[in-house]
Amino acid sequence: MRTSDAGRGPGGRAHARELAVAGAEATALTWRSAPGGVSGTFLITLAEAAAPIATAWLTKTVVDRLTTSPGPVAAPAAALVATGLAAAALPGIGRYLRDQTGRVAGVRATDRLFAATERQVGLRRFEDPVFLDRLRLAQEATASAGYLVDAVCGTKRGALSLIGFLMSLLVISPLMAVLVLLAAVPALIAQLLLSRSRAAMEWATEQTHRREFFYSGLLTDVEAATEIRLFGIGAFLRARMMAERERGNAAEQRMARRELAVQGGLTALSAAVAGGGLWWAITAARHGTLGVGDVTMFLAAVVGVQAALDLLTSSITIAHGRLLTFTHYVAVTRAEPDLPSVVTGDAPKLRRGIEFRDVWFRYSDDHPWVLRGVDLTIPHGRAVALVGLNGAGKSTLVKLLCRMYDPTRGHILWDGVDLRDIPPSALRERISAVFQDHMNYDMTARENIALGDIGTLDRPDAIRQAAARAGVHDRLAGLPRGYDTLLTRMFFSEADKEDPDTGVVLSGGQWQRLALARAFVRDGRDLMILDEPSSGLDPEAEHEVHGQMRLHRAGRTSLLISHRLNAVRETDLIAILDGGRVVELGTHETLMPAGGHYARLFRLQAAGYQETQDIG
Ligand SMILES: Nc1ncnc2c1ncn2[C@@H]1O[C@H](COP(=O)(O)OP(=O)(O)OP(=O)(O)O)[C@@H](O)[C@H]1O
């Protein structure tokens, strides 16, 4: 599903227009972040470019006055010393300014990038591998955004030095000036082509790198460690990781060989020009056509031109490479939101209910239909349960209800208003949820709960109450630092490592209770979604938590998804999802005698318990 590479040429190559836009954006970003740093850097660059040319001319003057045209040398010698001092000090100051500018611009770029990803209110972009590749490259680009100034300054310095020395050469030998210039043009073109190929190669190997990171992440992930060890699949995963690395390396090596061949040729060309020039200058001096000062000037000019060319080509290459990476930043920050959304307005308070009206959904055109015309009403103030086999589409329906995606066809109405006409943030404000794949945050217990409603971070009572409802208060209160205990051992220094007070690890069921508490702390919302809220709990905890949930949802609107039909039977309305549609709807009392899917599933589950009882 590669959907977001529109506007890219074959191999993901950027067009000139994209580069121009990226250049303009990077310049504007850097300028707005650090106008003083940018101005200072430009001035220092000018001075740095002028220094070697001034040195060459001053040296020629001193040498001439000492040999062929005697005259006072104190002033040019003093100027030479001053220029030398400036030339020594300028690079350090320039580097400091460039680094500072780079850091400030990097902060701004990072903030803008993450703000832009937040504008993607649904999930589609995060399931699009092209978008994910771009996001990773865009993150890299934030680090180098400000340093584009560095490369631009290098280009400017190289160009100014080149012009300065070429003019100097022109005075001594127009032919040599032209020759040196002609040698520069192919070097520049070759470097630019190389930089383009490198960017295309990096784009092409992005997937390889992502797979390699995936395997290396697995091999170092504490949650994966148990299975990896038990199944003995470490070597297998390592082999896969290494295969991806080798694939990436092979592409890198091919590129490096091309660079070596081209750069070798270019170096030979510049050595030939420098050697030829040297030969000519010595011969001319022997015949008296050039003075000693002219020869020193000539030598300085040839070396200076070569150095300027090197700087120019490498700076252009770096600038080009950074611009190419920055095109991904521009693409991500300017990406259209994945869901067309109204931005202002409120979700109406739920008074009547939520209605799924002939809702069809598939994850993309390439995927099969998951929902095929769902009609379902969740009446206000009622507890509705959704039952279905694995893969029936229950969690998908919940995601549509939270507007992580829009239905492919049909409508979901919130008190009669289409979800598409409600800003997603306003809709989500009205919903609380425990998701099947809930998060475990490597933060404190308090933060883990308060993330459900960030306003409760400083309201210990609200946190405690939610934890108590989820049956986890005693456990959290008994932790070494109570609710302020970190629920991870990830962030410890070597010194704290042995201290059990610094962080604890919870069990799966305890984490699930925390997720419940996170949903409970979001009190007073119009709708509570509970997607498999008790799958990891022991029977006693499950009983207790279901009792709490029953209390919590009394008179409130809720949607419960559970394979535990014992919990489902107590809800006001049970909907059975099968084949992408609601095939049965009723209460436990009406569905059981109907003898359909629900009755069959319920009897199957009850029979399991019955057998166990018989054995006991
Ligand atoms: N992000 C996704 N992209 C593509 N297909 C998906 C995605 N998420 C789910 N599916 C597919 O949609 C179908 C329904 O999945 P869903 O998770 O909604 O089922 P479920 O009823 O909640 O199942 P379970 O009881 O196992 O939790 C499955 O066939 C699944 O493979």
pLDDT digits (tens, 9 = 90+) for 315-342: 887 888 788 889 999 999 999 888 887 7
By alpha-carbon position, which residue is closest to atom 9 of ligand 1? 396
Rounded average pLDDT over 97-111:
90
Inform me whether the pLDDT recorded for 301 exceeds 80.
no
Tell me: the pLDDT tens digits for 465-482? 999 989 899 999 999 899
pLDDT at 308: 81
Number of residues written out for the chain? 616
Structure tokens at 498: 């042995």
Same fold for the pair 348-430+527-616 and 438-524: yes
Q: How confident is the model at residue 446 (pLDDT cuts 50, 70, 90)?
A: very high
Cα–Cα distance for residue pair 217/2, rounded to 1 Å: 24
pLDDT at 388: 93
Tell me: the pLDDT tens digits for 266-291? 878 877 877 887 788 788 888 878 77
Higher pLDDT, 542 or 450: 450
CATH code given to domain 10-333: 1.20.1560.10
In angstroms, the Cα distances linking 268 to 144, 158, 261, 299 are 32, 20, 11, 18
Residue 470 Rama label (left phi>0; alpha psi -120 to 50; beta): alpha
Measured in angstroms, how far is the CA atom of residue 391 from the centroid of ligand 1? 5
Ligand 1 pocket check: which of 128, 396, 535 to mutate, most ligand atoms within 8 Å of Cβ?
Answer: 396
By alpha-carbon position, which residue is closest to atom 28 of ligand 1? 391
By alpha-carbon position, which residue is closest to atom 16 of ligand 1? 393
pLDDT at 496: 61
Q: Is 454 exposed, middle or buried (0-12, 13-18, 19+ CB in 10 A)?
A: exposed
For the CA of 532, the closest atom of ligand 1 is 27
Question: Could you tell me the maximum CA-CA distance found in the chain, to the nearest angstrom?
Answer: 120
By alpha-carbon position, which residue is closest to atom 8 of ligand 1? 396
Inform me whether the pLDDT recorded for 616 exceeds 60.
no
Residue 391 Rama label (left phi>0; alpha psi -120 to 50; beta): left
Among 1-5, 311-315, 425-429, 579-583, the least confident range: 1-5
Ligand 1 pocket check: which of 1, 363, 435 to mutate, most ligand atoms within 8 Å of Cβ?
Answer: 363
Q: What is the pTM of this model?
A: 0.77
Measured in angstroms, how far is the CA atom of residue 136 from the centroid of ligand 1? 26
Measured in angstroms, how far is the CA atom of residue 394 from the centroid of ligand 1? 8
Distance of CA 408 to the CA centre of its chain: 28
For the CA of 563, the closest atom of ligand 1 is 25
Rounded average pLDDT over 533-537:
76
Contact between 469 and 552 under an 8 Å Cβ cutoff? The reply is: yes
Identify the three-state secondary structure at position 241. Answer: helix
The residue written with tokens 């000139």 in the block is: 16
Q: In degrees rounded to 5, what are phi and psi of residue 56?
A: -65, -45
Rounded average pLDDT over 215-233:
90
Inform me whether the pLDDT recorded for 171 exceeds 60.
yes
By alpha-carbon position, which residue is closest to atom 17 of ligand 1? 395
pLDDT at 611: 57
Higher pLDDT, 89 or 310: 89
Higher pLDDT, 343 or 255: 255
Q: How confident is the model at residue 3 (pLDDT cuts 50, 70, 90)?
A: very low
Architecture of domain 438-524: 3-Layer(aba) Sandwich (3.40)
pLDDT at 609: 67
Measured in angstroms, how far is the CA atom of residue 434 from the centroid of ligand 1? 17
By alpha-carbon position, which residue is closest to atom 24 of ligand 1? 390
For the CA of 398, the closest atom of ligand 1 is 18
Measured in angstroms, how far is the CA atom of residue 189 from the centroid of ligand 1? 51
Identify the three-state secondary structure at position 377. Answer: strand
Convert 344-383 to b/e letters by CB count within 10 Å (16 or more is b): eeebeebeebbbbeebbbbbeeeeeebbbbbebbbebbbb
Inform me whether the pLDDT recorded for 11 exceeds 70.
no
Inform me whether the pLDDT recorded for 196 exceeds 90.
no
Q: How confident is the model at residue 2 (pLDDT cuts 50, 70, 90)?
A: very low
Residue 525 Rama label (left phi>0; alpha psi -120 to 50; beta): beta
Measured in angstroms, how far is the CA atom of residue 393 from the centroid of ligand 1? 6
Measured in angstroms, how far is the CA atom of residue 435 from the centroid of ligand 1? 13
Measured in angstroms, how far is the CA atom of residue 581 from the centroid of ligand 1? 14
pLDDT at 218: 93
Listed in sequence order, the residues at least 6 apart from 140 whose beta carbon sits closer than 8 Å to its beta carbon are 325
Q: How crowded is residue 593: how many other Cβ atoms within 10 Å of its Cβ?
A: 9
Measured in angstroms, how far is the CA atom of residue 392 from the centroid of ligand 1? 7
For the CA of 388, the closest atom of ligand 1 is 21
Rounded average pLDDT over 191-196:
79
Q: How crowded is residue 26: how many other Cβ atoms within 10 Å of its Cβ?
A: 27
Query: How large a percentage of the chain has pLDDT more than 90?
Result: 42
Maximum mean pLDDT: which of 203-207, 328-332, 504-508, 565-569: 328-332
Identify the three-state secondary structure at position 485. Answer: coil
Higher pLDDT, 455 or 184: 455
Strand partners, 360: 372, 409
Q: How crowded is residue 16: how many other Cβ atoms within 10 Å of its Cβ?
A: 7
Ligand 1 pocket check: which of 127, 386, 395, 578 to mutate, most ligand atoms within 8 Å of Cβ?
Answer: 395
Structure tokens at 54: 């001034």
Q: How crowded is residue 292: how many other Cβ atoms within 10 Å of its Cβ?
A: 14
Measured in angstroms, how far is the CA atom of residue 158 from the centroid of ligand 1? 57
pLDDT at 491: 67
CA nearest to 163, candidates 373, 305, 360: 305
Q: How confident is the model at residue 152 (pLDDT cuts 50, 70, 90)?
A: confident
Cα–Cα distance for residue pair 597/388, rounded to 1 Å: 9
Measured in angstroms, how far is the CA atom of residue 522 from the centroid of ligand 1? 26
What is the CATH topology of the domain spanning 348-430+527-616? Rossmann fold (3.40.50)
- Interior CA angle at 34 toward 30 and 40, to 5°? 105
Cα–Cα distance for residue pair 529/370, rounded to 1 Å: 20
Structure tokens at 369: 């239909």
The pLDDT mean for the chain works out to: 86
CA nearest to 134, candidates 208, 28, 215, 207: 207
Cα–Cα distance for residue pair 479/486, rounded to 1 Å: 9
Among 79-88, 129-138, 248-257, 530-539, the least confident range: 530-539
Pocket (CB within 6 angstroms of ligand 1): 127, 363, 367, 370, 388, 390-396, 436
The residue written with tokens 């409600």 in the block is: 422
Inform me whether the pLDDT recorded for 20 exceeds 50.
yes
Q: How confident is the model at residue 615 (pLDDT cuts 50, 70, 90)?
A: very low
Inform me whether the pLDDT recorded for 497 exceeds 70.
no
Query: How large a percentage of the chain has pLDDT more than 70?
Result: 93
Structure tokens at 51: 């220094």
Residue spans of the domains in the chain: they are: 10-333, 348-430+527-616, 438-524
Tell me: the pLDDT tens digits for 433-445? 998 888 999 999 9
ipTM over 0.95: yes
For the CA of 399, the closest atom of ligand 1 is 18
Inform me whether the pLDDT recorded for 613 exceeds 80.
no
Measured in angstroms, how far is the CA atom of residue 595 from the centroid of ligand 1? 27
Q: How confident is the model at residue 4 (pLDDT cuts 50, 70, 90)?
A: very low
